[in-house]
Amino acid sequence: MLDLSSFDLSTIPVTEDMIDAEKVAHVQLKNPLEHALLVLTKTGYNAVPVLDLDGKFCGIISKSDIVEAMFGIEKIEVEQLYSKTVEDVMNVDIPTVHVSDSLENVLHVLIDYSFACVLDDRERMVGIYTRREMLKQLRNEYYQQRS
């Protein structure tokens, strides 16, 4: 059985196994929804971070946010893809972690979100930490205990 009593996530920095910002697909606040849908479709991700022109984290946009924004009263209105921007439909109430935080802080965010955005002192996104990396940490611990 996995014994987590000696496995201290508070000693592991979030920067270990973080995906650096330059490898993270993102969109910008003023991008039309058409562009955001293109990024999400081409990368295959369900949701990506939204940044401003200075790289500051503003929120997250998902494929379902865009589809929802296209629903009119009677039909799907494709023209919304061109008239609305990312800023109009993104989610802003998103928990983040600081670049100096440990994986313990990330764990709480990953209960409800598939990735945590990692920010510096000026709220710029320096990377993301994904559920996949957290599960790999737990898997490593599990097999270390069995060996």
DSSP letter string, 35-82? HHHHHHHHH--SEEEEE-TT-BEEEEEEHHHHHHHHB-SSSB-TTHHH
Give the Cα separation of 63 and 114 in Å (integer).
14
Residue 146 Cβ vs ligand 4BW, minimum distance, rounded to whole Å: 24
Residue from 18, 21, 33, 48 touching ligand 4BW (CB under 6 A): that is 48
Contact between 141 and 127 (Cβ < 8 Å):
no
Q: Looking at the chain, how many residues does it have?
A: 147
Contact between 36 and 85 (Cβ < 8 Å):
no
67 scored as a contact of ligand 4BW (CB under 6 A): no
Residue 124 Cβ vs ligand 4BW, minimum distance, rounded to whole Å: 16
Residues from 70 through 129 that contact ligand 4BW (CB under 6 A)? 114-115, 128
Stretch that binds ligand 4BW, among 3-11, 17-25, 76-84, 99-107 (CB under 6 A): 17-25
Size of the site for ligand 4BW (CB under 6 A): 15
Which residues are at the interface with ligand 4BW (CB under 6 A)?
19, 23-25, 44-48, 114-115, 128, 130-132
